[in-house]
Homo-oligomer: A and B are copies of this chain.
Amino acid sequence: MLPEWVFDENDRRLMREALEEAASAAARGEVPVGAVVSRGGTVLARAGNGREALHDPSAHAEILVMRRAGELLGDWRLDGCTLHVTLEPCPMCVTACRQARLDLVVWGAPDPRAGACGTVLDLAGDPRLGPPLAHRGGLMAAEATGLLRAFFAKRRESS
């Protein structure tokens, strides 16, 4: 987790788009996490969590947005690309980001349940898995956490 002043206006703009994807996911009944992939500041792909609608255990926002970016670029190698995601990625998503060769991951709220960028474990920097994944966390964390809290509070009320 880094202080907000580490991030620039470009990061904030991209994270706002990821937060919009998270809000859309909540409206569809999905755990609200959103992500965008950009290159040179231009958004290539955006996605929200789609596990419930797609019946796909791997359909986290990060996996879906990288798939879309790969389709667009015609290559699974996303060199030169950055991923902004509202929640700290889990071990599945961190490993996918490493394998996609992303330049950088910027994440929002820490995930005390499965965060693999240092909160629960650190898979981003594990040298046994090849070149480490560059990442910065903590951007607009309050907004991302707010969406998650509201979603789970509503789900508890209706169950």
- Chain A residues with CB under 8 Å of chain B are 51-52, 54-59, 63, 66-67, 70-71, 73-78, 90-96, 99-101, 114, 120-121, 123, 126, 128-130
Contacts and interface: CB of A to CB of B under 8 A. Distances in A.
A91 to B, nearest CB: 4
A59 B67 CA distance: 9
A76 B91 contact: no
A130 B123 CA distance: 16
Contacts of A75: 55
A113 to B, nearest CB: 8
Contact of A92 (B56, B76, B92, B126): B92
A45 to B, nearest CB: 12
Contact of A66 (B57, B121, B126, B128): B57
Contacts of A128: 120-121
Nearest to A75: B55
10 contacts: A55-B76, A56-B66, A57-B66, A57-B76, A57-B77, A57-B101, A63-B63, A90-B99, A91-B123, A92-B93
